[in-house]
A and B are shown apart, each in its own frame.
Chain A
Amino acid sequence: MSRKFYGDTGFLTLAINTADVDYLRLAYLQALNIQATQQIKNCAVIVDQATYQQVTDQHRQVFDHIIPTNSVEGQGPFATEWHTWWLSPWRETIKVESDLLFTRDISHWITAFRLHDVCLSHGCRNYKQELSTSRKYRHVFDANRLPDVYNGLMYWRYSEASKKFFDLARQVFENWNDVKQQLKNCEDEYATTDMVYALVSSIMDTACYNPGMDFINFVHMKSGIQGWSDDQTWQEYCVHERNADMIRINNINQIHPVHYYDKSYATDELIAEYEQRVIQEV
């Protein structure tokens, strides 16, 4: 098993634009944010062919690699997720969802990541930085006794074990209609990445998360995680501000990475501010 890599460790995200969301724009903001906050600055994005057409010189200036892939038809919006193992340009990959921002360097997490071939976030935090006890979005996980993992921030290194993980993930994605018959209370038309990776984690004979290390997770800003109704987004519920890279929500500094979820958080002003700070250095 050998492959050409372009760097030892780097960040990777997926940006498959939809009719409603310009994920490439979110990934671009994230790449700027990574340049500003991380010691590890390698950044790559995987895009589908349609999104690839949207790539500009400005994007190329910030991303080290922009990797086109073919989208998978008929298997839902997350069906390309398993491609990431094969397409990552990094020997060790930190994969993040594109609507996640860092407020401080996490390079010291690498030591903990490396305890596993694949290391998923376990649990998530509310804006108060507490480990969330909300199970609002995890009923199926609980009913099936699946680990409380999140793919929003995860790590893998190039290895036989991580290949097996993504091979299994591919099988679950491709056989979702059969798989979901075996799950209790699961009515998801399409496989979601969290569900697939939780299933694979429970099948793998090596641990893929580390619940004992409760820092490998992020702040999840879905309203229900905060104990609020989903009728409104968190931006409508509370005060928020920024101080350079720090995001302050309801006056609490967000030490952990912030999965802002509400895409309107990525404003033109925020992108412009980061461009001003980062692009000249790049």
Chain B
Amino acid sequence: MQNSAKSEKSRGVVIFATNTAETDYVSIAEQNARLIEHFLKLPTTIVSAKDTGSNQRFSTDTGRFVEWKNFGRHEAYEASPYDETIVLDADYLVFDNSLLGLFECSFDYLLFDKNRYVNIDQQASTMGPHSLPYIWATAFLFRKTERSRLFFELVAKIKRNYDYYRLLYNVQEGNFRNDYAFAIAHYILNGNSLATESFAPFHILTVTGAVESITASKNLVLRTPHKGHVLPLANLHIMSKSWLTSPALLLLVDQCLENSTATLVS
């Protein structure tokens, strides 16, 4: 007799985090995993990529370049134990369940092409002044399909041959960036078109530069050295690694979890 019951697809979150001399990314990911469990009710797997490379990023905390091991995002397909995966940077903190809603969309992979800065003027999201828009590899979703596998293989190929693709796509920056490799792979895979149907319907929210404090209630209240911001309780990409690795993150996560518990009780 044939079993007509649908098999349950596994779903979870993969966070890429590789520690450097300056930054304990894994500890950030662990706190994010608590938020994910709370808001998304999903399991989290923290992955330290094999092909991390060694790069440098400009630290908006210190104003100098620091070590950065962030090359291996193309390993997501193999590294994820789930059929349906949300991949996040450790510093993209989850404060709502909007990512879950994206699984209602039909996609092999779903990318974020839009970002909105909370505290600075919006920046052009192109790979160079005369180049194409890039993707925010900070967060993306994929299902384990053949097309997704091809996508990640292509990202890996672009990484291996980055000097060539950098010239071909008029990329200004010398640094390899997952954002660029994702964009290039996406355009190639979609027959040299922007294929905007593979983009998420909302944007990533980012706070850049130094953070003094973040508290959570019905809203997120963010204080930077010069301004205060009241944000919705929504996912937030926080660039300040010094704040993320401070005890303040643990307090914020505790606060979020307690607030929600209190709301449930009341």
Contacts and interface: CB of A to CB of B under 8 A. Distances in A.
Contacts of A130: 194
A228 interface: yes
Chain B residues touching A, majority SS: loop
B168 interface: yes
A252 B170 contact: no
B194 A129 contact: yes
Nearest to A237: B130
A238 interface: yes
B131 to A, nearest CB: 7
Nearest to A127: B132
Interface string A218-250: 000000001010000000011100000000101
B247 interface: no
Given A128-B132, A228-B130, A238-B130, A250 B170 contact: yes
Contacts of B130: 226, 228, 237-238, 250
Interface string A117-161: 000000000001110000000000000000000000000000000
Interface centre among B130, B132, B168, B184 (most CB of A within 10 A): B130
B202 interface: no
A203 B132 CA distance: 40
Contacts of B193: 129, 252-253, 255
Interface in B97-132: 129-132
A222 B1 CA distance: 66
A133 to B, nearest CB: 14
Contacts of A49: none
Nearest to A130: B194
Contacts of A251: 132, 168-169, 184, 187-188, 192
Contacts of B191: 253
B209 to A, nearest CB: 27
B190 to A, nearest CB: 10
Nearest to B192: A253
Contact of B132 (A228, A250, A253): A250
A239 B130 CA distance: 10
Nearest to A228: B130
Interface residues of A, number: 14
Interface string B183-224: 010011001111000000000000000000000000000000
A228 B170 CA distance: 14
Contacts of A129: 193-194
Contacts of B132: 128, 250-252
Interface string B167-186: 01110000000000000100
Interface in B222-257: none
A239 B192 contact: no
Contacts of A255: 193
A127 to B, nearest CB: 9
Nearest to B131: A250
A4 to B, nearest CB: 44
Interface string B158-173: 0000000000111000
Interface string A35-64: 000000000000000000000000000000
A248 to B, nearest CB: 6
Given A128-B194, A228-B130, A237-B130, A252 B168 contact: no
A274 B112 CA distance: 41
Nearest to B196: A130
Nearest to B165: A251
A238 B187 CA distance: 16
Contacts of B188: 251
A252 B170 CA distance: 13
A255 B193 CA distance: 9
A257 B148 CA distance: 31
B187 A239 contact: no
Nearest to A128: B194
A266 to B, nearest CB: 22
A201 to B, nearest CB: 30
Contacts of A238: 130-131, 170
A132 to B, nearest CB: 14
The 9 closest A-B pairs by CB, nearest first: A253-B192, A237-B130, A238-B130, A251-B192, A252-B192, A128-B194, A248-B192, A253-B193, A250-B132
Given A238-B170, A250-B169, A255-B193, 18 more contacts: A128-B132, A129-B194, A130-B194, A226-B130, A228-B129, A237-B130, A238-B130, A239-B169, A248-B192, A250-B130, A250-B170, A251-B132, A251-B168, A251-B184, A251-B192, A252-B193, A252-B194, A253-B192
Interface of B: 129-132, 168-170, 184, 187-188, 191-194
16 contacts: A128-B194, A130-B194, A228-B130, A238-B130, A238-B131, A238-B170, A239-B169, A250-B130, A250-B132, A251-B187, A252-B187, A252-B194, A253-B191, A253-B192, A253-B193, A255-B193
